[in-house]
A = this chain, B = another copy of it.
């Protein structure tokens, strides 16, 4: 726009990034399209290759593009989000379909779901979890169950469930990786804990280094962290799960009454 007047205070890398961003937004560079190569951008703008590279790295940080070694840089296609709702705890849904809401969501997108329980251990609870369960973080022991969720063999979410030993007792929850029909909430019902309320504390952040490798996340994508607490009729918090999910593939969808 205002090239000639010489008063373009933006550094060249910003300018290139701004131009590319505009092209992406206008649709000129469609979803999945290949950007000009670093060397070509550099030539086109009369800058060093590193400067073009810097521009691309800005867009990567914004989550707009992904680079593929040897192939090029591409506009990140926006895949539809899997929307997880509170209905994932619904008894009816559990019994009707026999499928977990995660499986339903993934199937709906034409992908193949898979879940895997990686470990069942006894541990000390993290402070925030102990707090939600009404336990003393330094003395209490909990069962820790680590679950991974996949779509087409691509990991999309992790859930770590903490159960007080007093609740789990000697039930399958305390030791078995597979929990049989109706899955985990059916087992809690076997023990007399029927989920009637949930609390979900939601935050977003960039993934830890382990998460970004474990979930094989591209740069510029945040995670959604959900700290979930299950509460029964007697207002007992009997289980807490921390979900960490890829922000580019997952979303939450709650519908609830306004109380008071």
Contacts and interface: CB of A to CB of B under 8 A. Distances in A.
B63 A205 contact: yes
A100 to B, nearest CB: 15
A247 B196 CA distance: 29
Contacts of A248: 205
A209 B21 contact: yes
Nearest to A248: B205
Interface in A229-260: 247-248, 251-260
Given A86-B259, A198-B256, A199-B254, A247 B204 contact: yes
Given A62-B207, A222-B222, 20 more contacts: A18-B209, A57-B57, A61-B61, A62-B212, A63-B205, A81-B203, A91-B260, A92-B260, A197-B257, A198-B258, A199-B255, A200-B256, A202-B202, A204-B224, A204-B247, A205-B247, A205-B248, A222-B247, A256-B256, A256-B257
Interface of A: 18, 21, 57, 61-63, 81, 83, 86-87, 89-93, 195-209, 212, 219-224, 247-248, 251-260
